[in-house]
Amino acid sequence: MDSIPSTGQAPKKRRVLFISGAAILVILLATLLWAYMQIKKPLPQTTGELVVNGLNASVNVYRDAQGVPHIEAQSDVDLYFSQGYVTAQDRLFQMDLSRRQASGRLAEVMGETFVDSDVFFRTFGLRRAAEASASAYDAETYRYLEAYADGVNAFIEYAQATGTLPLEFRLAGYEPEQWDPIDSLTIGKHMAYDLGGNWQSQAFHYWLSQHVSEEEALDLLPSYPEEGPAVLDLAQTIDMDVETAFANVGSKLPHPFNGSNNWVLSGDRTATGMPLLADDPHLGLGAPSIWYETHLTSPTVNVTGVIFAGVPGIILGSNETIAWGVTNVGPDVQQLYFEQRNPENQNEFLYDGEWYKAEVIAEEIKIAGEEPFYHDVVLTKHGPILSEYAHVEDESEYALSLRWTGHDPTTELKAVLDFNRADNWDQFKEALTHFHAPAQNFVFASTDGTIAYRANGLIPIRANGDDALLPVPGWDPAYEWEGYIPWDELPTIVNPESGIIATANNKIAGDDYPYHISHTWAQPYRQQRIIEVLAAKDNHTVTDMQALQMDVANLQATNMLPLLTEALPAEGLRAIDEEGLDVLAEWNQFDEREEAGPLLFHFWMEEIENLLFAAKIPAEINELFYGRAGVVDELLRRAATGDPGPWVEGAGGFETVVLQSYQAAIDKAARLQGNAPAKWRWGNFHQVEFSHPMAAITPLNYLFDRAPLPADGSHVTTMAASYNRETGIVNHGAGWRGVFDLSDIDHTYHIVAPGQSGHVTSETYRSQMEAWTEGHYHTTSIHPATYKNNSDKLELRPQ
C-alpha cells in the first residue's frame, strides 16, 4: 500500500496549542499585573508636592521608617486640617467603618447581616449623644473639629478624582460620604461606650433573680449589700424575658477584658533621676490598629503619641515637658430602669404617679440590595428603651431603659487638645475638667519631676440605697441620680513617697472612700505583678519598662494552682492526668509560648467555669456575666477553705469540680495537641493574627491577613493577650505600647501593631506584627534634625 503523504497537521496543531497557551499566559500575567497595580494604586503619595484645597499655608509632612507622620504646620487650623488629610491617606476605610458602626449604618453598605448591629447602635444612640455634645464645645475647639473634617474631605475628593480610594471601597462596592465633625465625636462616643459599661451586669443579676435560687443569685453578686436578699425583692416582682430581650447582644457588647496597664515612677526610682511613664491600653486587636501614631507641630503644639483614626489631636502621648497615659476606671456609669407602660398607650410611661409621653424616633435602616428595615427607638426620661432593640413584638407591661453618663453632652476633645498644650500638672489637671466619659485613670509625669495620678470622669452618686447591682424602678423619683462625685473629691495622688503609681483596672479606693465607684474590678494579678517588679529596685530604665510591658508572669496560677492540685485525689488518676500534673509542677508559671503549663492551666480554669455555670445559665445570658473570672476565683478560694457556695455544691462539691474540670482540660488539650502533655505548647494554640474586617469574606482573607504568630501572655498577665476560647486566636490586648523617659522627652518608644498603614500592600501594613510578639519598640523623635533624616517628605500646598 502506498504511504499517505504527510500534511504537517501535527506540527501545526502543536504550534496552535503553543500560541494559544502563550496567549493565555500573557493574558493571565497581564491580569495579575493589572490586579497588582489596582491594589498598589491607592498607596498614598508621601513625597513631592500636593496642591490641597482648603489650606492657608504650606504644610510639611515627614513619614519615618514606620510610617509615622510628622506634621509641621504654621497654624493650628492648618495642623488639624493636615492631620485629617494624612490620617485619611492611611486609614480612610477604617475611619468610614468606625463611624458607620457607631452610627448604626453598616447594613447599607455591608448588607443584611449587619441590621442587628445597626438596630442596637441606633437604639443605644451614640450618634445622638455626639450631636448633643457638639453644642457643648467652645468655638475654637469646634473650629479645629471642622478643620479636621475639611482635611478628610479634601483627601476624599482627591481620591475620588484620581481613582485612588482604598481597595476596600471597590471590593465593597461603595464610596465614602463627606466627613462631618459629628463623625469624629461619634467615634469618641463609641470609645466611651467600649470603656464605660455596667448595664449588662444589671441585666444578668436581674435574670438571676428570676431563674435561680436566692442563695445562688447572691453567691454571684460581686458584693453582698448590707440588706442582703432585699436587693432582689423588686426584681423578683417584675417578670420580663431578658433572654429574648437581649438576644444576640453579645457581639455588640464591649470586650469583658477591655482595660489597660499604666504606671509612672519618680526620679528616685530611675537610673536617670527623672520620671519614667508607661502605658498600654487593652482593646480589640485587628488590622489596621485602633491606634494611629502621629507627631503634630505648630506654633502652639509639639506633641506626639496616638489617637483613634478619625479624631484630631493626640489622646495618649507626650510633648516637650509632660507625658501621660490612661487605664479604664470601669465605674458604674450606667443604670437600667424598669419602665412601666400605660396599658392604654404603649408610648406612655409612669413617673411620680403620672403618665408621660416618651419621644419616639422612627429609624430607617437602609440595607444594601434590600428594602429598608424600620425600627422605632423610644426615649424615656432616663434614656432609650434598650430591652426591645431585638425587635420584641409583644410589648409587655415593663421595659428596661438605660441612663448613661455618655449620653450627656461631654467635651473630651477639648480636654485632649488642652492636654497637648499643657506644660505642667496644674495645666493638665485643669484640662481634665473637660474630660467626662469614659472615666479614666490618668498617670502623669513632667520634666520638673512631678508624677501624679487622677481618676477622672463623671461618676454618678446614687440615691435610695441604689447600689448599681440591679435595675431600679423608673417611676420612682427617689432613684434618680443625685449628681456626680464632686470633681475636687475624685481620687488623686501627687508625688507619693513610694515614688510608684500604677493602675491595671484594679480597685482604686479603699472602704473609707465616701462614694461608690464600682462593684466590678479586674482580677488583681496584673496590678500585683506591676507593683512587685517596680518595687524591686530603684534604678529602672526604659528597657525595664519595656520588659515589664512584655512580662508574662501568671500570678493567677501562682495563687490558684496550689488550691486546685491539692484538691485532686492522690490515687485513681489516669496516666495522662499524672503527666499533666508533672507539666504543671515543672512550669515556672510564666505564660510563655514554648511552655505546656499555660495551655493546661487556662483550659482548667475555663472548664471550671463551664462545669459551674453551663447547665444553668444559657449562653446568651452568660455573655452578660461581666467579672465572671473574678467571681470564679472567689468561689474557688472560699470552697478551698471549707466554705463552698451553692454553685460549687450544686456541681458536686469542690473536689468533684476540681477533678472533673481537670480531666476535661486534659482531654481538650489532648484533642488539640496529642496525648503527650510534655509536648504541648501554649503557642501552638495561643496565636495572634490581627485580622482585617474584609478577611471575613473568603478568599479575601488570603489578601488581607497573614499567618498567625505564636504569642506569649494571656488575659491575666501584664502582657495582655486575651484569646478566642475555641480557636486560640489572640483578639484582644495592647494594640499600642508606649514608654516615655522624661530625661529624654524628645525620644519616645512605641509599638503600634500590626502597623501604621491601612493599605494591604504598604510596607507598614504589618511592619510591627512581629514586634508586638517580641517586644521590639521603635523610637519616635520630636526633634526636627532626627525625624527629617531618612524620612519621606511631602509638602501640602494651598491651592
The predicted-structure confidence for 326-344, as pLDDT tens digits, reads as follows 999 999 999 999 999 999 9
Q: Rounded mean pLDDT of the chain?
A: 93
**Burial tier of 21 (Cβ tally within 10 Å: 0-12, 13-18, 19+):** exposed
| Cα–Cα distance measured from residue 311 to residue 292, given in angstroms and rounded to the nearest whole number | 10
Residue linked to cell 453578686:
221
- Give residue 2's pLDDT: 43
- Give residue 250's pLDDT: 77
Span 350-358, average pLDDT? 98
Give the count of beta carbons closer than 10 Å to the beta carbon of residue 27.
Answer: 10
- Give residue 252's pLDDT: 82
Q: What are the start-end ranges of the E strands in 54-182?
A: 59-63, 69-72
Backbone angle region of 392, left / alpha / beta, with phi > 0 → left and psi within -120 to 50 → alpha: beta
Helix axes 139-162, 76-103, angle to 10 degrees: 80
Span 180-208, average pLDDT? 93
First vs last C-alpha separation in the chain:
89
- Give residue 783's pLDDT: 94
- Give residue 247's pLDDT: 78
**pLDDT reading at 40 higher than 50:** yes
**pLDDT reading at 34 higher than 60:** no
Q: What are the start-end ranges of the E strands in 166-319?
A: 259-265, 276-284, 291-297, 302-308, 316-318
| Cα–Cα distance measured from residue 450 to residue 795, given in angstroms and rounded to the nearest whole number | 38
**pLDDT reading at 293 higher than 60:** yes
How sure is the predictor about 391, in pLDDT bands with cuts at 50, 70 and 90? Answer: low
Residue linked to cell 508606649:
738
Cα separations in angstroms, 702 against 166, 198, 430, 695: 17, 38, 49, 7
Q: What is the pLDDT of residues 595-630, one digit of tens each?
A: 999 999 999 999 999 999 999 999 999 999 988 999
- Give residue 306's pLDDT: 98
Q: What is the pLDDT of residues 700-714, one digit of tens each?
A: 999 999 999 999 999
Residue linked to cell 481538650:
668
Q: What is the pLDDT of residues 420-449, one digit of tens each?
A: 999 999 999 999 999 999 999 999 999 999
DSSP character for 422? -
Whether the link from the prior residue into 288 is cis, omega within 30° of 0, is yes
Q: What are the start-end ranges of the E strands in 624-763?
A: 687-688, 709-710, 721-723, 729-734, 736-741, 747-752
Question: Are 561 and 587 within 8 A, CB to CB?
Answer: no
Cell of 695: 478577611
Domain boundaries, the chain: 555-687
How are beta strands 687-688 and 729-734 bridged, if at all?
parallel
**pLDDT reading at 276 higher than 60:** yes
Short-list 727, 31, 141, CA closest to 413:
141
Question: Are 292 and 306 within 8 A, CB to CB?
Answer: yes
Cell of 737: 505600647
How sure is the predictor about 248, in pLDDT bands with cuts at 50, 70 and 90? Answer: confident
Burial 156-191 (b: 16+ CB within 10 A, else e): bebbeeeebbbbbbeebeeebeebbbbbbbbbbbbb
Residue 404 has φ and ψ, to the nearest 5°, of: -150, 135
- Give residue 464's pLDDT: 74
**pLDDT reading at 547 higher than 90:** yes
- Give residue 756's pLDDT: 98
How sure is the predictor about 4, in pLDDT bands with cuts at 50, 70 and 90? Answer: very low
Report the alpha-carbon angle 111-114-115, nearest 5.
95
- Give residue 3's pLDDT: 43
**pLDDT reading at 392 higher than 90:** no
Handedness of CA 562, 565, 568, 570 (dihedral sign): negative
Span 539-566, average pLDDT? 98
Q: What is the pLDDT of residues 101-135, one digit of tens each?
A: 999 999 999 999 999 999 999 999 999 999 999 99
Q: Which of 177-186, 384-393, 778-787 has the lowest mean pLDDT?
A: 384-393
pTM to 2 decimal places: 0.93
Homologous superfamily, domain 555-687:
Aminohydrolase, alpha-helical knob region (1.10.1400.10)
How sure is the predictor about 91, in pLDDT bands with cuts at 50, 70 and 90? Answer: very high
Report the alpha-carbon angle 264-265-267, nearest 5.
140
**pLDDT reading at 17 higher than 80:** no
* Partner residues linked to 326 by β-bridges: 442
How sure is the predictor about 228, in pLDDT bands with cuts at 50, 70 and 90? Answer: very low
Q: Is 100 helix (H, G, I), strand (E, B) or coil?
A: helix
Q: Give the DSSP H or E segment for 346.
A: strand 345-351
